[in-house]
Chains A and B, each alone.
Chain A
């Protein structure tokens, strides 16, 4: 985490993502989240970094985990444009860490006497992390069981082709059967790796597969921290005695053992939410990959290749019409993300409505969008009903009737 935070800071991403934009997209329910501005964002960033350091060395553990969870989650809620599945996963792990006694051994808290050392951890705590990982993989796998992924081999055809000039692996990537093989293998891996990790006999092989798979995807795609998170967190599947052996070799650390105890009801609830949340798309009668209703928080990782254009037109009751210059309000990255996500289009339209009704001093504005999205190597297709006044739409959980159906899906 520390690595990720420092990296973002060094690359100037904090400025690009939190300071430069003048408008921020929100997650549903967080529309009124205060955006604290440049100085405080940097302070919160610093606090997240300090908490991450404290957690690693095991100092002021409870305080640090709460601090990290709050800071990191706040930064992720700041602008929904930046949503990535693995940032969401970090938020979840950070939340779970608060309740885990990860400072009971090998920590400064123990050395300094802030907490009593303990060699044991309740089994449910381990199972909890395992289950969380299992949910991520399995849902990622289920999401791939889609004709686009399995039989069209999209978008892997595009992505592999981009890397066809790589030394050695390039030849493999450009083989005509590779996209379908990779697609199939990817789905298979995500669906079953959890089970292979779970069983003792297959575990070493499965973990080797984890390392190879994530290193390969890391080198192929621009996916940041995700491979690192998965490679390290999957170590939890190994038994306590294995951990002890390895840690022992690294410098004679104390031992820990596992015993079972009953599970607190709060975490049963947590798991139920985690199981149900990715399935909420079932309540929508729309094309998941296209309309993205119930798409986020569902572990739909690297699933589609999309690009879109959205031009907004402002109309007054006397039939004058103007186009909005998006670059005046959004950064190029925000514009790109907005154009492919219907709820962002509506949020932005409402922002434009407020801005212009104030600037023009009139209340009769209507806003329409001409939006086109190209999906998985196809020509683009109209995305939003151009006759729909976006100011009349309130974002919510109802099926978005104003999204135009894609004929191919």
Chain B
């Protein structure tokens, strides 16, 4: 017996050392010695915290202008301009939807579109300002957009009815309340965020990659896929774009994808900080003989150029030359493969925002 175990053990040792670990060329994050501190600090200090702060200021100023408008101290134009600016700023924080922002359900409450107009009329009439109700498509920016831009001059009186004013005021103060809490939460969450290194499902890197993908997929499906009819058997529905009343849809989509790219790059202002692109470069991730991060960036640029060429709004583009919107959709599909499959795989991260109701084996 002893003889036997000795021989088994020695056999296994021989086996083991014959396939001794080589320093592998696997090009994954879990094989590398990459230190995430600089990366996470850059995101927290230079992108997320200042970005959320800017948005809060923008939203508060919209609230102030609304109050002045409601008491006839500001013009409709001023209100619309301020709304426009804030809606654009909202696009810049879409990738931050994790941690405090996710727990306060900010994106869901601020920008669930398309708007349910019938529901909105009911909710105004019944003063239903219980915003904690799930799946409301009659609140947030889509509702404001309809009320601030969608009503014709002749209806402007109904817009100024007390009930409507109350409803708009309630939406704004709910959102202001949420974003202020989020910003307060980030003060303490920052340390947690920078310390949650690694590649497990709770790590900050995983949260960021998942949030980036979630935001990108919403754009692909809801902003582009559904209005253009790609996902609806060719049935074009231009009125389902984001912000259909105000002709803002192109600018919103452009900013959304632009900031998706900046988030990928870890870039703020003119400074190109440590970002996901640097991690991919560090581990030398390659796709089809090209650096993965380069090919992702090139594809972002191709999408942004495409949108830039639309002469009018996205809604008009769907109505006139929809084929270019379908081309944009194809570019986005290609990008999803890189963002949702290639990048998580080499970063050893799982896409978890689609949850498993099961074990594995």
Contacts and interface: CB of A to CB of B under 8 A. Distances in A.
Contact of B350 (A11, A307, A322): A307
Interface stretch (B61-69, B256-264, B339-347): B339-347
Contacts of B329: 323
Interface in A45-85: 82, 84-85
Contact of A322 (B24, B201, B231, B359): B231
B231 A161 contact: no
Given A153-B21, A374-B341, A192 B8 contact: yes
B198 interface: yes
Contacts of A370: 333
A154 B348 CA distance: 11
A153 B26 CA distance: 10
A165 B26 contact: no
B357 A11 contact: yes
B279 interface: no
7 contacts: A153-B21, A225-B359, A302-B361, A307-B345, A332-B355, A333-B355, A375-B345
Given A158-B28, A307-B344, A379-B346, A223 B21 contact: no
Interface string A212-240: 00000000011111100000000000000
Contacts of B340: 309
B348 A379 contact: no
Contacts of B24: 152-153
Interface residues of B, number: 55
B348 A377 contact: yes
A324 to B, nearest CB: 8
Given A161-B348, A322-B234, A377-B30, A180 B357 contact: no
A184 interface: yes
Contact of B21 (A177, A221, A225, A360): A177
Contacts of A161: 29-30, 198-199, 348
A323 B230 contact: yes
A176 interface: yes
Contact of A221 (B31, B230, B348, B360): B360
B21 A180 contact: yes
Q: Select the residue from A226, A302, A307, A377 with max chain B CB neighbours within 10 A.
A: A377
State the 7 A-B residue pairs at the shortest beta-carbon distance, nearest first: A224-B359, A374-B345, A161-B30, A332-B354, A16-B357, A377-B28, A84-B361
A98 interface: no
A226 B344 contact: no
A388 B48 CA distance: 45
A323 B235 CA distance: 12
Contact of A157 (B28, B225, B230, B354): B28
Contacts of A12: 357
Given A11-B357, A17-B358, A307-B345, A322 B230 contact: yes
Interface string B315-359: 000000000000001000100110011101110101100111111
B346 A377 contact: yes
B233 A378 contact: no
B292 interface: yes
B26 A152 contact: yes
Contacts of A84: 358-361
Interface string A194-218: 0000010110000000000000000
Contacts of A372: 337, 341
A325 B221 contact: yes
Given A161-B348, A325-B225, A370-B333, A176 B21 contact: yes
Given A325-B232, A336-B354, 6 more contacts: A157-B26, A301-B361, A302-B361, A309-B340, A336-B356, A380-B345
Interface in B187-204: 197-201, 203
B43 to A, nearest CB: 19
B314 to A, nearest CB: 18
Contact of B231 (A157, A224, A309, A325): A325
A332 B357 CA distance: 10
A311 B329 CA distance: 12
Contacts of B231: 322-325
Contacts of B200: 162-163, 165
Contacts of B357: 11-13, 16-17, 333
Contacts of A333: 354-358
A158 B8 contact: no
Interface in A118-140: none
B243 interface: no
A379 B230 contact: no
Contacts of A241: none
A357 interface: no
A311 B221 CA distance: 12
Given A223-B359, A309-B341, A378-B346, A158 B30 contact: yes
Interface string A353-382: 000100010000000001011110111100
Nearest to B221: A325
B135 to A, nearest CB: 15
Nearest to A373: B341
A225 B197 CA distance: 30
